[in-house]
Structure 1
Amino acid sequence: MKKTTVFVFGIFLAVLFHLSTAVDSDVAASRVKRGLPRWINRAIQAVPAYCAATAGAAAGRMRRAYYDMRRANWQNCDKYFHCRGNYEAGRLGYCGKLTAKAISEAREWAQSGGSHGSDSAEDRVANDYGRAGGNCVQRYILGTRNTRQECSLPRRLW
């Protein structure tokens, strides 16, 4: 496995573990664990403890979209997978949307080192669009045809 894949999978496991072991929903600080990077703890604090079951399902859907993106390895299609993962997690309701936002923001923050680059801003737009229930295929696959940023992902991978 590539180092990046292992790293991202570790993030998901850490967030899921700490969300599922959270007992006190009133005190977010009680869920902060020593030894974890600060950005993982921020993601954990952003999701209430009563969302633990839904958070696990939402994180699983986002993880599946991430692995599909890695497996497809298709140029200019990362925004589609960002959108799709957030869309699928957001369909789980309020807790799914919260979890998707926490994971997406933590990932963008970690990848950009806290700075806000243009690619990171575009990823955030795709994440927000997916969580809002937007049509990811229409916007990021069909909508990019005959442009410089065309995502020509085969239909079987949609």
Structure 2
Amino acid sequence: MPNSFDPTFDAWERCNNLVLTWIFNFVEPTIAQCIVYLEVAVVAWKLLRDRFSQGDRVRIFDLQQELSTMKQGGNYVTHYFTEMTTLWEELENFRPLLECNCTVKCVCMTSRLGKDYRSKDYIMKFLSGLNDDFESVKTQILMMEPFPDINKVFSLLVQ
């Protein structure tokens, strides 16, 4: 929070008030009562997060369980793909990839290998949940060199 003499204070205050209003109007009235007297949005946000968060491990478990049981079923491939990528993206928010600690230029390939492994895991899970109608396409995709990314896999399936 900038002090009141900072040239950015007025802009900060407008944004802060806007975010406080959004938070206040979004939560249930009984919950809003515990933040109504707070003057800084980030303080309100942290208070609500600490008080009502279900915990990352519980959500990670739920996401992984949903992903492990997800199947295309009667859905179009597009719907199945969208649902699955939504869950993957949420899971990635909780479990970001490891970052490289190399000083100047990366030589360890940690980030790149992590992305590659994760991408392949996603593709395998996506393919395993498809209906049997896609058996021949799945086999072709699994035999491709180089192995395609998830968007290319999706593109091949909807052609």
TM-score class, shorter-chain normalisation, is under 0.3
Q: Considering Cα pairs closer than 8 Å and 6+ residues apart, tell me whether 1 or 2 has the greater RCO.
A: 1
TM-score of the pair, normalised by structure 2: 0.27
TM-score of the pair, normalised by structure 1: 0.27
